[in-house]
Structure 1
Amino acid sequence: MAKFIQILKDINELIVFKHSVFALPFIFVAMIVASKSANGSVWFGFELLILGLFCAVSARNFAMGANRYLDRDIDKDNPRCASRPSVDGRIGSKNLLIFIWLNALIFVVVAYFINSLAFWLSFPILAILGAYSYFKRFSSLAHVVLGICLGLSPIAGAIAVLADIPLWVILLSCGVVFWVAGFDILYSLQDMDYDKKKGLFSIPSIYGAQASMFICALFHFLTILFWLLFAISAKLGIIGFIGVAVSGIILYLEHRIVRRDFSKIDRAFFTLNGYLGIIFFIFVLVSLW
């Protein structure tokens, strides 16, 4: 039993499950807006709730597993990453591959039971999720690719409910893309010197800290702009607009913390961004009620 518990702890450390808080609120934002537009109610049913959770968790497990597997050669020399289970031998390469493909299978099978559009799009979605790790080896657009990976989440939520991709969810997803790309740039400031040494194409390693902060601020401005357009398109009303404004304030605080002290990047990265997604969801939910 103790060994099994330790395996679960190692897997949790591998995939950093608590970071699911970034994508899940926006999946559910899309699902409640879609349900409200289609059925007049924000509740989309227990079946879609369970299937949606399985899809979200398995897709993220696949993406994180693939990233850890492909980045072993990069992580082993990075002091911040050298103790990861994929690097220090706690989870071997064979077991990691089993974990990756098992979650891919779960994602595809669950998507099949949602609807045909979800099933057919599950394959290109997996390809995009798996491609992220390669981009940092040749392009500074890796941050945007990571944003696209999480930006697919609300689109998947809308497809689950509507079997369609309406305009409002594209606007919501674009906001998520720039939100994630922006805070990933901030997070990459921690590895700026290491990335330079390894020849990796992160924006901080190529353009430096100050330029990276400017690009991040630009991305987060676009985030708020797209979420404002989403609130208008989805007809969320004044409460939805307040939710967007509060999100903007949180992003401002994130930038303020990082500019003052790079050692607090983890706090800005996880704490504030984690709160942002949940708060945004609550405002959208209240506005629809």
Structure 2
Amino acid sequence: MSDLRREEGRVADAVAGHWVDRLAPLRARPYLRLARIDRPIGWWLLLLPCWWSAALAAGADGQPYPDPRHLALFLIGAVAMRGAGSTYNDIADRDLDAQVERTRSRPLPSGQVSAKAAVLFLVAQSLIGLAVLLQFNGTAILVGIASLVPVAIYPFMKRVMSMPQAVLGLAFAWGALMGGVAVFGRLDLPAGLLYAGAVAWVIGYDTIYAVQDIEDDEIAGIRSSARLFGQRLRLAVGLCYGVCALLVALAALAAGTGPVGFLGIALFAAHLGRQVLRLRDRDGRGALALFRSNRDAGLILFAGLALDAMLRAWAA
């Protein structure tokens, strides 16, 4: 990373030319970066399992489309809680982040934001997330609160386990439980299967993401699934993605999804397979592009499930 880029305060894997770096007030930029607003892929990946579950629940309930209010609340909540989780992670990891090239430009290790200010910012974002959660039924509120357990322990897992991505999966896939419980007020089999599939998806794509840091992680002693899998990287990611597609298909089957929904699942699986074929060991730039492409994969699945619900409702 160039000295000029460091002076600008931009983070290594941020979207080039993002509005945070061009238009946001200078004092606000470190906080927006701390919340990962300049890296929107994070909240997209947190949001998509919520939208999948909302679309799956709509089809199972005979509705022509997912509840627009729920979709909007999930969007706001995903942005707020992605920011809160990232802030919490950076507070816990600020010493480790200083040892990794890609992360040492983050606001905390680079000194743009103090630890005290970061904690206050974390509280503010968490309150927004809580306000969103309180708009749902009581069961959904309890399920949402339970998500804080994997969120709280994840930053410390890279110190003690070889595949911290598994814990990240438990946290980032949580939205797959929320859409169904928001509609039906209970957890059921389709939601459980969808959640398990989303966990496998997260492990797969975050393993791809970790390819960027293999060299620095080896030096700093940071553990990751990319290091664990080593030469079997493509096989391992392929297995994660295969398990994901299978479990999502089983969730759709349990929910009574029709042919269009399964077409969406097939296209989603094809997108994941294409990622595996293009994955290369220690190709950080390519890994970042493949990681980001999971937004498109997730939107394909959502579109298939939502369109299926619409067509089946019209035909009923």
> Structure 2-normalised TM-score?
0.83
Q: Which has the higher mean CA deviation after the structures are superposed, 29-38 or 218-227?
A: 29-38
Cα distance in structure 1, aligned partners of 2:270 and 2:281? 17
C-alpha contact 2:163 2:228 (8 A) present in aligned 1: no
Give the direction of change, closer, same or farther, for the CA distance of 1:83–1:283 in structure 2 (3 Å limit): same
Which one of the candidate residues 18, 28, 33 is aligned to 1:13? 33
Greater helix proportion: 1
Query: What amino acid maps onto 2:54 in structure 1?
Result: M
Q: Cα deviation per residue 1:78-128 (whole Å; 9 max; x = unaligned)?
A: 111111112212222111111212222332343233121223333331232
Query: CA offset at residue 51 of structure 1?
Result: 3.2
Secondary structure of 2:173 counterpart? helix
Q: Note closer, same or farther for the CA distance 1:112–1:189 as it changes in structure 2 (3 Å cut).
A: same
Displacement of 1:5 after TM fit? 2.0
2:65 paired residue among 25, 42, 59: 42
Instruction: Give the conservation status (yes or no) of the 8 Å contact 2:36–2:83.
Output: no
Cα root mean square deviation, aligned = 2.2
SS in 1 for 2:121: helix
C-alpha separation in 2, matches of 1:96 and 1:110: 21
Match of 1:175 in 2: 197
Task: Please report how far the alpha carbon of residue 7 of structure 1 lies from its aligned counterpart in structure 2 after TM superposition.
Answer: 3.9
Pick from 20, 23, 35: which aligns with 2:46? 23
The more displaced of 116-125 and 219-228 is 116-125
Q: Secondary structure at the match of 1:6?
A: coil
The answer on 1:232 being equivalent to 2:253 is yes
Secondary structure at 1:141's aligned position in 2? Answer: coil
* Paired position in structure 1 for 2:128: 106
- 1:128-174 CA-to-partner distances (Å, cap 9, x unmatched) read 21211111110023111111111101212222222211211211111
- Aligned counterparts of 1:252 and 1:12: Cα–Cα separation in 2: 34
Structure 2 residue 231 is the aligned partner of structure 1 residue 223: no
Once residues 80 and 237 of structure 2 are traced to their aligned partners in structure 1, the CA distance between those partners, rounded to angstroms, is: 29
Sequence identity (%): 25
Q: 1:56 aligns with which of 65, 78, 91?
A: 78
Partners of 1:261 and 1:105 in 2: CA distance: 39
Report the equivalent of 2:16.
none
Q: Is the 8 Å Cα contact of residues 143 and 202 (structure 1) preserved in structure 2?
A: yes
Name the counterpart of 1:282.
303
Cα distance in structure 1, aligned partners of 2:50 and 2:288 = 24
Corresponding position of 1:85: 107
Alignment-mate amino acid for residue 90 of structure 2: R
| Aligned counterpart, 2:137 | 115
Distance in 2, Cα, partners of 1:29 & 1:245: 15
Distance (Å, rounded) in 2 between the aligned partners of 1:217 and 1:171: 19
Q: Structure 1, unaligned stretches of length 5 or more?
A: none
Q: Distance in 2 between matches of 1:74 and 1:260?
A: 23
1:125 aligns with 2:147: yes
CA distance in 2, matches of 1:113, 1:236: 28
Asked if the contact 2:197/2:243 (under 8 Å) is kept, the reply is: yes
Q: In 1, distance between residues paired with 2:57 and 2:216? A: 43
Deviations 1:154-208 (A, max 9, x none): 2122222222112112111111111110111121122112222222221233442
> d(CA) in 2 for partners of 1:200 and 1:43?
41
Picking from 184, 187, 195, the partner of 1:162 is 184
For 1:25, the aligned partner's letter is L
8 A contact 2:212–2:282 mirrored in 1: no
Report the TM-score, using the length of structure 1 for normalisation: 0.90
User: What is the CA distance between 1:4 and its match in structure 2?
Assistant: 6.3
Tell me how far apart the structure 1 counterparts of residues 295 and 67 of structure 2 sit (CA, whole Å): 24
Q: Secondary structure at the match of 2:147?
A: helix
- Between stretches 85-94 and 256-265, larger displacement belongs to 256-265
CA distance in 2, matches of 1:238, 1:121: 31
Letter in 1 for 2:101: P
Residue by residue over 1:54-99, the C-alpha shift from the partner in whole angstroms, topping out at 9 and shown as x without a partner, is 3322222221111111111111121111111122122221111112
Aligned equivalent of 2:270, options 210, 224, 249: 249
